[in-house]
């Protein structure tokens, strides 16, 4: 069975603007391959095609792409999940394109850096380790699993328009992950850092982030929790 | 080498989930309703006098004016319902993927229903 692909191409050395290029791939009847496998096969046809990938099993978060209009990881998205005759593959929306499907993630990482994504504990170091009850530990479930693939933030219109000021779904999920950690002592200053019109409150509840997250996480809910914490602190 | 990096932001090539559609419509109706405020204020002021009331009434009974009024009132109804949904979400209700989809679907159905009811009331 022949499958058609339409792929976003841009080479900064030769192109002034991006274009879509058509490809065809022979896919064995009844077989179902992942989009990443299809891309690797297409790269054998055309070695100039550039994209990122590493672990090929949805853990590293390198191959976030926009496939038939929806962000996701190419390595865990089967071709059968994409409807239509032609599979359209574009880079993650909103970020500058370096080449073909490879985007510059600097803006995304800058927002991540802003939320201080590490445990801060200013108490006297305990003799052995910071203990945490199973209940407190379970509060981190659904937060710590984020692999920073940027599928969510690059599907978020609020992030598209304000990538420098709005922390974005991924960064805010991480922010909440440390706000709710019982071992972290910087809760107040973390909240103070987020207490402005843009950082958290640019979220409009569009929920594109929840729709696309390949790990099934829920940034909208985490953002809601941060807002509640800010509200409780304010009254 | 071209140093100006392009950005893939083709909104037509992006697949919008139902939650984005309901939220976007809330925003669009809000802007249009805001822009219509001068007209409604003017119509209200006019209609304080007996002559003005008859004049505004005549103006609004034309088929096109009526259709515009119907559209604006339908948008107002949708904007209120979708706004209440966003308030509920702020309170932590309907924030899951399934809950968000259900909420959006409910809001869109209620919007169409109220548009139909407003149409019946106007005609």
pLDDT in tens, B83-109: 999 999 999 999 999 999 999 999 999
| Residue in A with minimal Cα distance to B15 | A69
Residue A204: per-residue pLDDT: 94
Across all residues in chain A, what is the average pLDDT?
96
DSSP A183: T
Please judge whether A68 and B10 are an interchain contact, meaning their C-beta atoms are less than 8 angstroms apart.
no
Please judge whether B8 and A70 are an interchain contact, meaning their C-beta atoms are less than 8 angstroms apart.
no
Residue A30: per-residue pLDDT: 79
d(C-alpha B118, C-alpha B120), whole Å: 5
Per-residue pLDDT tens over the stretch B46-63: 999 999 999 999 988 889
CB A214 within 8 A of CB A175: no
Residue B3: per-residue pLDDT: 75
d(C-alpha A87, C-alpha A124), whole Å: 56
Please judge whether A18 and B1 are an interchain contact, meaning their C-beta atoms are less than 8 angstroms apart.
no
Please judge whether B14 and A10 are an interchain contact, meaning their C-beta atoms are less than 8 angstroms apart.
no
Please enumerate residues of B whose Cβ is less than 8 A from a Cβ of A: 1-3, 5-10, 13-17, 19-20, 23-24, 27, 86, 89-90, 92, 95-97, 100
d(C-alpha B66, C-alpha B54), whole Å: 15
Across all residues in chain B, what is the average pLDDT?
94
A67 pLDDT higher than 70: yes
What are the angstrom distances between the C-alpha of A117 and each of A2, A114, A125, A148, A175?
Answer: 46, 8, 20, 12, 7
DSSP B1: -
ipTM of the shown complex: 0.88
Please judge whether A97 and B23 are an interchain contact, meaning their C-beta atoms are less than 8 angstroms apart.
no
Stretch A50-68: mean pLDDT, rounded?
97
Taking the Cβ of residue A158 and every Cβ of chain B, the question of whether any pair is shorter than 8 Å is answered with: no
Please judge whether B15 and A69 are an interchain contact, meaning their C-beta atoms are less than 8 angstroms apart.
yes
The domain limits of chain B are: 18-122
Q: How many beta carbons lie within 10 A of that of residue B56, not counting itself?
A: 18
Taking the Cβ of residue A20 and every Cβ of chain B, the question of whether any pair is shorter than 8 Å is answered with: no
**Packing angle of the helix pair A106-114, A168-179 (nearest 10 deg):** 20
User: Scanning the structure block, which residue is given the tokens 């574009």?
Assistant: A90
Per-residue pLDDT tens over the stretch A18-47: 999 999 999 988 778 999 999 999 999 999
Backbone region of residue B8 per phi and psi (left: phi > 0; alpha: psi in -120 to 50; beta: other values):
beta
d(C-alpha A131, C-alpha A147), whole Å: 25
Per-residue pLDDT tens over the stretch B76-89: 999 999 999 999 99
List the single residue in A90, A206, A218 with the smallest CB-CB distance to B20: A206
User: Which one of B6, B31, B101 makes the best mutation probe of the A interface by having the most chain A beta carbons within 10 Å?
Assistant: B6
A55 pLDDT higher than 70: yes
Per-residue pLDDT tens over the stretch A119-174: 999 999 999 999 999 999 999 999 999 999 999 999 999 999 999 999 999 999 99
Stretch B111-119: mean pLDDT, rounded?
97
Q: Which residue has the higher pLDDT, A117 or A85?
A: A117
| Element at B42 (helix H, strand E) | helix B18-46
Confidence category of residue B1, pLDDT binned at 50, 70, 90: low
A84 pLDDT higher than 80: no
d(C-alpha A56, C-alpha A62), whole Å: 9
A68 chain-B contacts, CB cut-off 8 A: 15
Q: B35 in helix, strand or coil?
A: helix
Residue A39: per-residue pLDDT: 97
A227 chain-B contacts, CB cut-off 8 A: 90
B29 chain-A contacts, CB cut-off 8 A: none
Which pair of tokens denotes residue A166? 């709005």
Stretch B8-19: mean pLDDT, rounded?
95
Kindly report the pTM of this predicted structure: 0.92
CB A203 within 8 A of CB A172: yes
Span B18-122 CATH architecture: Up-down Bundle (1.20)
User: Which one of A94, A207, A219, A222 makes the best mutation probe of the B interface by having the most chain B beta carbons within 10 Å?
Assistant: A207
Confidence category of residue A85, pLDDT binned at 50, 70, 90: confident
d(C-alpha B66, C-alpha B69), whole Å: 5
d(C-alpha A53, C-alpha A51), whole Å: 7
| Residue in B with minimal Cα distance to A70 | B15
Share of chain A above pLDDT 70, in %: 100
A194 pLDDT higher than 90: yes
Taking the Cβ of residue A91 and every Cβ of chain B, the question of whether any pair is shorter than 8 Å is answered with: yes
A52 pLDDT higher than 70: yes
Backbone region of residue B96 per phi and psi (left: phi > 0; alpha: psi in -120 to 50; beta: other values):
beta
B23 chain-A contacts, CB cut-off 8 A: 204-207
Please judge whether B5 and A12 are an interchain contact, meaning their C-beta atoms are less than 8 angstroms apart.
yes
């Amino acid at each position: 069975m022949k499958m058609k692909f339409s792929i976003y191409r841009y080479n900064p050395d030769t192109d002034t603007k991006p274009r879509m290029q058509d490809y065809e791939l022979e896919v064995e009847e009844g077989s179902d391959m992942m989009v990443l496998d299809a891309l690797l096969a297409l790269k054998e046809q055309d070695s100039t095609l550039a994209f990122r990938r590493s672990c090929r099993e949805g853990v590293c978060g390198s191959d976030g792409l926009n496939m038939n209009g929806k962000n996701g990881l190419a390595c865990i998205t089967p071709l059968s999940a994409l409807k239509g005759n032609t599979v359209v593959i574009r880079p993650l929306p909103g970020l500058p394109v370096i080449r073909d499907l490879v985007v510059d993630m600097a803006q995304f990482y800058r927002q991540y850096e802003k939320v201080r994504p590490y445990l801060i504990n200013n108490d006297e170091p305990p003799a052995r380790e910071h203990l945490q009850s199973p209940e407190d530990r379970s509060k981190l479930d659904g937060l710590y699993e984020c692999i920073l693939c940027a599928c969510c933030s690059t599907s978020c219109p609020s992030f598209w328009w304000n990538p420098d000021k709005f922390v974005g779904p991924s960064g805010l999920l991480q922010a909440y992950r440390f706000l709710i950690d019982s071992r972290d002592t910087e809760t107040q200053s973390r909240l103070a850092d987020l207490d402005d019109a843009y950082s958290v409150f640019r979220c409009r509840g569009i929920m594109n982030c929840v729709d696309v997250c390949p790990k099934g996480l829920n940034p909208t809910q985490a953002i809601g929790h941060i807002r509640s914490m800010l509200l409780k602190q304010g009254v | 080498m071209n140093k100006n990096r392009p950005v893939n932001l083709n909104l037509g090539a992006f697949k919008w989930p139902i939650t984005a559609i309901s939220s976007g419509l809330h925003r669009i109706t809000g802007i249009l309703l805001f822009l219509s405020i001068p007209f409604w204020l003017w119509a209200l002021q006019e209609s304080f006098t007996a002559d003005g009331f008859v004049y505004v009434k005549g103006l609004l009974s034309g088929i096109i004016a009526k259709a515009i009024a119907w559209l604006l009132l339908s948008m107002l109804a949708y904007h209120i319902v979708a706004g209440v949904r966003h308030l509920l979400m702020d309170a932590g209700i309907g924030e899951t993927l399934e809950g968000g989809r259900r909420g959006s679907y409910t809001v869109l159905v209620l919007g169409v229903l109220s548009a139909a009811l407003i149409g019946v009331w106007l005609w």
